[in-house]
Chain A
Amino acid sequence: MIFLKRQLPIIIAFVAGIMMWIRYYIPSEVSTNLEDGYLEWVRIIVGFAAILGILSLLQHHMLKIRMKRPGFAFSYVTIAAFALMMFAGFAPFNFPGFAEKNMETGSLFNWLYEFTFIPMQATMFSVLAFFIASAAFRAFRARSMEATLLLVAAIIMMVGRVPIGDLISNATPTFMMFGNEYHFIDFEEWTGWLLNVPNAAAKRGILLGVYLSQIAISIRIIFGIERTYMGGGD
């Protein structure tokens, strides 16, 4: 039993990892089929993993209702909305007034997606603008050199992406440098420079570290040194 519980997963990870690693260096039909087959299998496994997450969420809301925890009535809303979407998506017939069934355009599912999911998602993200503004108010009190840099970069980015930025830039006098004409204040130019030079470079530095870590962690997983994916217990 110990073999099945502890050693077999490590062997599976090792064999799968080595096979997928080596197939990159052997370009052939077998390698392509292996890659396609593996990616298809992964899509199926991930599909079930998503269902596990959903089961866990429903379990949480069921428990909330059973224990009558504060705000448990709203859990009924979540479960009812989930059931409605499931019914709309899986029912094998057209609902009255809808020309199509399942997920087709013109189905009840599509109508619910268009008139409930999309507006709520867009509003949820747009509401974040207020919270970002309030977070900015606290973060942007330039108490240190780092905070000042963050403040200046953010202000240039924000002003540079709205029409008033262009108006300010065009109102300032110009000068010649290296044969080109520049405005003393040019938010559009500064925004582009900020994004393409210091921002891209710092991100590149961070990403290089991430890639090196990914390589290290991949090797550790394949050779069974990293086993956290097995979870706790026996």
Chain B
Amino acid sequence: MIPVGEVIGTWIAVGLTLMMFSFIYKDNPAFKFGEHLYLGISVGYYVNIQYWSTIYPLVFQQMQQNHNYWVLIPTLLGIFILLRIIPSLSWLSRMSFALYIGGFAGYSLPLIVHSLLLPQLSQTLQPYGGGVGPVINQIIILLAVFSTLIYFFFSLEHRKTVGVISRVGIVFIMVSFGASFGYTVMARISLLIGRFQFIIDSFRGQ
């Protein structure tokens, strides 16, 4: 026996799915209703997530259970951010942003170098080996990385040799964009098939 809540919920879900699909024909009131409903629901959802997973355990529980009142400092800084809506007090939010952005700049500096920049470089400059195929691939990778970097290097005019290397760079960039585009299209198509499957299964009572 299927619970009533699930049956009603499935019908609502199917109705909302069809409402959203109606945009394929053209922008219409049904879609607009669904769009605004989605906006309100998602905003309400994220407020709850923020409160129950961050503010409640890190602020209220810390004060009530652990008597840790240090959390009042970030809470105050958080309230400073909210003061941006009052023009005469909006400058207070600079303290919060300064702590967040300044601290994060320092926090991420060594991480970028050690965890991102150096591993990417070492992957590019690996010793050649493993047969003809892998060696060709490694040469292509080295050429592509170098030429892509040159393409985005604007301190030199892209003429003569630099211009040629930059043209090679754009070739690799376009292939990469094409591959990413194809990948994204297939992911979206897969979601679309999933939605159609949901509608068909709901009508068949599965």
Binding site for B on A (CB under 8 A): 4-5, 8-10, 12-22, 24-25, 35, 37-38, 40-52, 54-57, 59, 71, 74-75, 77-86, 88-90, 97-98, 102-103, 109, 111-130, 132-133, 136, 145-147, 149-158, 161-162, 178, 193-209, 211-212, 214-215, 217-219, 221-222, 229-231, 233-234
Contacts of A132 in B (CB 8 A): 181, 184-185, 188
CB of B97 within 8 A of CB of A230, answer yes
- Decide yes or no whether B61 CB sits under 8 A from chain A: no
Q: Are B194 and A16 in contact (CB under 8 A)?
A: no
Distance (Å) between the CB of B56 and the closest chain A CB?
Answer: 10
**Considering only CB atoms, which chain A residue lies closest to B172 in the complex?**
A202
B83-108 interface bits toward A, Cβ cutoff 8 Å, 1 = contact, 0 = none? 01100001101111111111111111
7 A-B pairs (CB sep. < 8 Å): A21-B107, A45-B99, A49-B81, A121-B42, A128-B188, A150-B177, A222-B102
**Distance (whole angstroms) from the CB of B19 to the closest CB of chain A:** 8
Decide: A42 and B146 in contact? CB cutoff 8 A: no
Known: A42-B104, A43-B54, A51-B82. A82 touches B40 (CB 8 A): yes
Residues of chain B from 1 to 59 with CB closer than 8 A to chain A in the complex: 4-5, 9-10, 12-14, 16-17, 20-21, 23-24, 32-52, 54-55, 58-59
Give the shortest distance, in Å, between B41 (CB) and chain A (any CB): 5
Q: Considering only CB atoms, which chain A residue lies closest to B39 in the complex?
A: A78
Nearest-neighbour CB distance to chain A for B3, whole angstroms, equals 9
Chain B residues within 8 Å of A, Cβ to Cβ:
4-5, 9-10, 12-14, 16-17, 20-21, 23-24, 32-52, 54-55, 58-59, 70-71, 73-75, 77-79, 81-82, 84-85, 90-91, 93-113, 116-117, 120-121, 123-124, 131-133, 137, 140-149, 151-152, 169-186, 188-189, 191-192, 194-195, 198
Asked if A201 and B140 sit within 8 Å, CB to CB, the answer is: yes
Contacts of B39 in A (CB 8 A): 57, 78, 81
- Which one of A45, A79, A221 contacts B40 once the chains associate, using CB atoms below 8 Å? A79
Q: Name the residue on A nearest B147 (C-beta).
A: A205
- With both beta carbons as reference points, the residue of chain A lying nearest to B85 in the complex is identified as A55
A146 touches B170 (CB 8 A): yes
CB distance from A71 to the nearest CB of B (A): 7
Interface of A, secondary structure class, is: helix
Decide if B82 touches A218 in the complex (CB within 8 Å).
no
How far apart are the CA atoms of A87 and B175 in the complex, in Å?
49
Say whether B20 contacts A204, CB under 8 Å.
no
Contact B103 A74 (CB under 8 A): no
- Docked pose: A9 CA to B98 CA in angstroms: 5
Assess A150 versus B181: contact at CB under 8 Å? Given A38-B107, A45-B96, A48-B78. yes
Which of B4, B82, B145, B170 neighbours the largest number of chain A CB atoms within 10 Å of its CB? Answer: B145
Nearest CB to that of A214 among chain B residues? B112
The answer to whether B105 touches A218, judged by C-beta atoms less than 8 angstroms apart, is yes
A130: shortest Cβ distance to chain B, in Å?
5
Complex alpha-carbon distance, A154 and B91, angstroms: 48
Known: A17-B102, A82-B43. 4 other contacts (CB 8 A): A44-B75, A111-B5, A215-B112, A222-B105
CB within 8 A of B55: which of A47, A81, A118? A47
Contacts of B75 in A (CB 8 A): 44, 48
Bound Cα distance from A20 to B47, whole angstroms: 29
Task: Please indicate the chain B residues that have their CB under 8 angstroms from the CB of A151 in the complex.
Answer: 178
Cβ contacts under 8 Å, B21 to chain A: 123, 127
Most chain A beta-carbon contacts within 10 A, residue among B95, B96, B105: B105
**B109 and A219 contacting across the interface, CB-CB below 8 Å:** yes
Whether the pair A221, B195 counts as a contact (CB closer than 8 A) is no
Q: Is the CB of A12 within 8 A of B98?
A: yes
* 7 shortest interchain CB distances as A-B pairs: A85-B44, A205-B148, A81-B40, A13-B102, A157-B182, A153-B178, A48-B78
